[in-house]
Amino acid sequence: MIEPLPLPASEDGPRLGVVPGAPHGIDALTGLVDRDHFLERAGAMLAAGPGLKAVIMLDIDGLRRVNQGLGTAAGDEVLEALAQRLMAASRKEDVVARVGGDEFAVLLAGLGEEDEARVLATRLAWAVEHEYSAGGHKLPLRVFMGVAVGPQDVASAEKLLSDAETALYAAKSGGEARVLVYTESLREQSAHRFALETALRRAVDRNAFELWYQPQVALSDRHVTATEALLRWHDDEKGWLPPADFVPIAEDTGLIVPLGHWVIERATAQLAEWLRRGYRLNMSINVSARQLADPDFIFQVRELLTRSGVPAQSVTLEITESQVMRNLEVTLPAMLTLRNFGVRLAIDDFGTGYASLTQLKNIPADELKLDRSFIVGLEHDPRDRGVVEGAVQLAHSLGLAVVAEGVETFAQLNFLTQIGCDALQGFLLGKPQPADEVSLSLSVDPGAAERE
């Protein structure tokens, strides 16, 4: 847990953020000034003369989940606590405001140099980002910040706030830096992202997607025992786009919920067809934490299984280790319920998501997919061999099957066979391909032809 920094010495008199007894321009929940009032104050401060000014915009990550999971009263508790922490940790001359549902802004005046704004923002982030308690729960919530520094002559208050907002959204979607300072290139990136988001919405409406399938081969008998469904977007101008180009945006915007529903529908229908033709196969389907957080998800999965007629145990839902870890309080209960239906669960990209051994023990999963980054090094780096061998042993001792991802060479295949890995997936055994091109021939049940 991050301890709050020591608070600035308290001084008597009302703080600039709170205007007692003046409901106009004041946010009723937190007592902070609202967006309009903030812009007025910022405008006046900018007009007041020289000296660098900056606006910090802050957003609390996960408030939606708190509202959904624990109720809006719990969400309000978090917002009130955050407002108090912000007030306590900001300087007396700063103006603190609530400018949106879960968005706060701080106006900093009297800055000596540009970098001071970033330092103050980081300090504020540390100060407000420790455990929150709401609805009887302890919640470790993260904050993101965008900072815009105003050259005194050109910047209007609206422009500063909008630049800070651009930096905030960049910080939220980038995931690495929690505090980002606005630059022109961020504006370009955000325009690019906006265009992509619009195109993606259109593509979801027009259903411009396809699933490709990549075989998984069991090492025991070298037969294709499963395929993984991998999403592709067909853009009229750019051709086929890989998921890395659009799945993160679909996750941020929530479009992954309808899109992911279509993926499960299509993949289970494809599996039903293959099963009818005599293949004995499982289907692995990627899902995002955002889908698991949707209260309807579990019912939809059940409905789609019934509609397609495929047995639940023939479907493996894959969720990346990092997404499981980032949203444990939402993902774990959903995973438990899914598993109770009989659906198999896999931890994808294992080794990149920092699950502790204790956590790993408690994640309800059937399969662990070793990330490609470890497989790449098998031939050259003895440490990767050690890590992979250790991971296979660990997984087996927890009762999990191990699938190695990204196998490209026979040397990798041989090593993975020697150490008892259960199944392989990779370009060596087959690239992702459209349903009618993917090779499943090894897994045909010999009796199937007669039965048809």
| Of 59, 94, 348, 367, the one binding Mg ion by CB under 5 A | 348
Coil, strand, or helix at residue 218?
strand
Q: Residue 149, SS3?
A: strand
The minimum distance between CB 340 and Mg ion, in angstroms, equals 22
Q: Rule CB under 5 A: say whether 286 interacts with Mg ion.
A: yes
Which of the listed partners (Mg ion, ligand C2E, none) does 231 bind, with a CB threshold of 5 to 8 Å by partner kind?
A: ligand C2E
DSSP 5: P
Q: Report the residue number, 120 or 287, with the smaller CB distance to Mg ion.
A: 287
| CA-based end-to-end distance of the chain | 62
Which one among 349, 367, 384, 422 touches ligand C2E, defined by CB under 6 A? Answer: 349
263 binds ligand C2E (CB under 6 A): yes
Q: How far is the CB of 247 from ligand C2E (least distance, A)?
A: 5
Q: Which of 348, 367, 384, 422 binds ligand C2E (CB under 6 A)?
A: 348
Q: What letters, b where the CB count within 10 A reaches 16 and e where it falls short, cover 108-143?
A: bbebeeeeebbebbeebbbbbbeebebeeeebebeb
Say if CB 287 and CB 319 are below 8 A apart. yes
Whole-number Å distance between alpha carbons of 347 and 369: 6
Nearer to ligand C2E, 43 or 258 (CB): 258
User: Residue 374 and residue 75: Cα distance in Å, rounded?
Assistant: 40
What is the chain's length? 452
Smallest separation, CB 152 to ligand C2E (Å): 46
Is residue 287 near ligand C2E by the rule CB under 6 A?
yes
Strands 367-370 and 401-404: parallel
Q: How far is CA 140 from the centre of its chain?
A: 16
409: burial class by Cβ within 10 Å (0-12, 13-18, 19+)?
middle
- 229 bridge partner residues: 213, 285
- State the nearest-atom distance from the C-beta of 336 to Mg ion, in Å: 20
The secondary structure element, H or E, covering residue 83 is helix 72-89
Minimum distance from residue 316 beta carbon to ligand C2E (Å): 11
**Phi–psi pair at 308, nearest 5 degrees:** -80, -20
> Which residues within the stretch 379-408 sit at the binding site for ligand C2E (CB under 6 A)?
405-408
Residue 196 corresponds to which tokens in the numbers above?
């992509």
Residue closer to Mg ion by CB (options 27, 348) is: 348
Stretch near ligand C2E under the rule CB under 6 A, chosen from 18-26, 78-86, 237-245, 410-418: 237-245
The listed partner (Mg ion, ligand C2E, none) that binds 322, CB under 5 to 8 Å by sort, is none
The yes or no reply on residue 268 touching ligand C2E (CB under 6 A) is no
Does 230 participate in binding ligand C2E (rule CB under 6 A)?
yes
294 binds, among ligand C2E, Mg ion, none (CB under 5 to 8 A by kind): none
Residue 321 near Mg ion by CB under 5 A: no
Chain residues binding ligand C2E by CB under 6 A are 214, 230-231, 242-244, 247, 256, 260, 263, 286-288, 318, 320, 348-349, 372, 405-408, 425-427, 432
